[in-house]
Amino acid sequence: MGVIFKTLYVYIYNLGLAIGDIFSSFARLIGSSVKRFFKFNKSSFSSFKTFFKRSVVFILIFAILVVSGTFLYSNNRKIDAIAIKLNDEIVGYAPTQSDADLAQNLASKYLNLASIDAFSTEEASTEPYNIKNYESLSEMLITKLSPELVKITEIYIDGEYLCAVTDRQNAKHIFTQYLESAKELYPTSSVSFAEEVSFKYAYYNKTDDRIWSSDQLELSLKTLGVLTIRHAECEKTLSTVEFDTVEIQTNTLFVGDARIRRNGQNGTEYAIDLVTYIGDKKVLSEQLMSVSVEKPVSQVVERGIRAESLSLGSYSVLQTTGYFCWPVVGLFTVTSPFGLRSLGNHKGIDISGANASGSLVVAGASGTVTEAGWSTGGYGNYVIIDHGNGIETLYAHMLDNSLMVNAGDIVTKGQAIGRVGNTGYSFGAHLHFEVRVNGNKINPAPYLGLE
């Protein structure tokens, strides 16, 4: 029962104080709003003045009744507590035995004692307001045992001792003010100390000169330079995004050769970074987000996979990965492949390139020339070579007077047989090249290492 009553009394007591606070705040609030109202409506002044006065008086009387009622009620009653004694003299009251023990432990710790010899406790009853928490009780024990000591707060900057102060709240306020003044320098930033400021309770001799006054602390923060300001800014930067390179393989280039098919283009992006400074020095930059303004364009590079060239004295012939060597010297573009096209079914492939006319046409493989001359069927000046095993090749549209072989001649692989021209059914200088197997015109691409 004792514990329940004690709790109830303390509760009612605190409730009384709280109600008092609420009413006084309420009275102030009504006062200020009524005042504001009268600035706009002076004609109603007298009636509101009366109303205001009566309200305030009523509220004040009510608050005084509640506060004094609960106060008197609770203070006229004694409740159970633990009396803390030094040499049998009561120093204070703790709500429970464990609070009393805690108070002794804390006091011993501050005084560097194993325990306090003169300390004892006993059950008692007292008015609620006499009961203190263990921290206050430990302070009472210390000042009783060592009256020359005073409770202070030590201040540490990054773990390094700076000074001691008697008023911790005020010291905190000084640090806050110091930070507030730094905020004015960096109005758009979030501002903090670069150093960690920590506080620790201790007991010093009252005359200890390590105890600083508020003015001393305030001045020292400004002059000693023990604190630096860290501020973080959001910064927007436009940056370049480098293009990447994509490689594709091509039969139209020799191994080891490459050419750019499409130029790469760098892109741009906005980056928003959170940049932290200590003073003016940048210490950290974290990217919060990036927004692409222009995407980069990949560079496309063609890389040759054609086999090495075959040197034949004054010229070089490409040795393809297929059965035949490349039938033209220096021209590598297939301008029209084998198969269906707008001008009908193409029975061979057309090869051309820059300055095509006059380029050497060579035998794809060794064999015997079976036809060499003018075609009435649209081939212009042409040559057919029989390579044995039912395989033949045909070379068409060559320049007039450029044929270097006659029917019956034996030719070797890569041997020149004529020059690229535009004769017969042809629209521009090129070589029309056919491969025939047992008389059937087939796609030459695989025989030239193109597929």
We find the least distance from the C-beta atom of residue 297 to Zn ion, in angstroms, to be 36
Residues 6+ apart with CB under 8 A from 16: 66, 67, 69, 70, 71, 74
Query: Taking CB under 5 A as the criterion, which residues in 201-230 touch Zn ion?
Result: none
Closest CB to Zn ion among residues 348, 367: 348
Nearer to Zn ion, 432 or 436 (CB): 432
Q: What are the residues whose beta carbons fall under 8 Å from the beta carbon of 397, sequence distance 6 or more?
A: 379, 380, 381, 382, 420, 421, 422, 423, 424, 426, 429, 430, 431, 432
Q: Residue 119 or residue 379: which is nearer to Zn ion going by CB? A: 379
Residue 430 DSSP label = B
Contact string 300-339 vs Zn ion (x = CB under 5 A): ----------------------------------------
Nearest approach in angstroms of CB 364 to Zn ion is 15
Determine the interface stretch with Zn ion among 235-243, 292-300, 342-350, 372-380 (rule: CB under 5 A).
Answer: 342-350
Per CB under 5 A, 397 contacts Zn ion: no
Q: For Zn ion, which residue of 155, 432, 444, 448 counts as binding (CB under 5 A)?
A: 432
* Residues in Cβ contact with 162 at an 8 Å cutoff, skipping those fewer than 6 apart: 155, 156, 220, 226
Whose Cβ is closer to Zn ion: residue 70's or residue 352's? 352
Q: What is the full DSSP assignment across 152-179?
A: EEEEEETTEEEEEES-HHHHHHHHHHHH
* Among the listed residues 350, 372, 424, 447, the single contact to Zn ion using CB under 5 A: 350
Total of chain residues touching Zn ion, rule CB under 5 A: 2
Query: Minimum Å distance from CB 257 to Zn ion?
Result: 26
Minimal distance, residue 382 CB to Zn ion, in Å: 11
Tell me which DSSP letter residue 98 carries.
H
Tell me how crowded residue 132 is: count the other CB atoms within 10 A of its CB: 20
- Given the rule CB under 5 A, which of 109-117, 230-238, 346-354, 413-421 is the region that contacts Zn ion? 346-354
Shortest reach from residue 355's CB to Zn ion, in Å:
19
- Closer CB to Zn ion, residue 2 or residue 339? 339
CA distances from 148 to 33, 46, 139, 208, 211 (A): 51, 61, 13, 10, 14
In whole angstroms, the minimum distance from the beta carbon of 432 to Zn ion comes to 3
Q: Which is nearer to Zn ion, 306 or 432 (CB)?
A: 432
In terms of C-beta distances under 8 Å and separation of at least 24 residues, what long-range contacts does 448-451 make, across chains too?
448/320, 448/322, 448/324, 448/326, 448/327, 448/349, 448/364, 449/251, 449/306, 449/307, 449/320, 449/321, 449/322, 450/251, 450/320, 450/322, 450/334
Closest approach of Zn ion to the CB of residue 408, in Å: 26
- Closest-CB residue for Zn ion? 432
Q: List contacts with Zn ion (CB under 5 A).
A: 350, 432
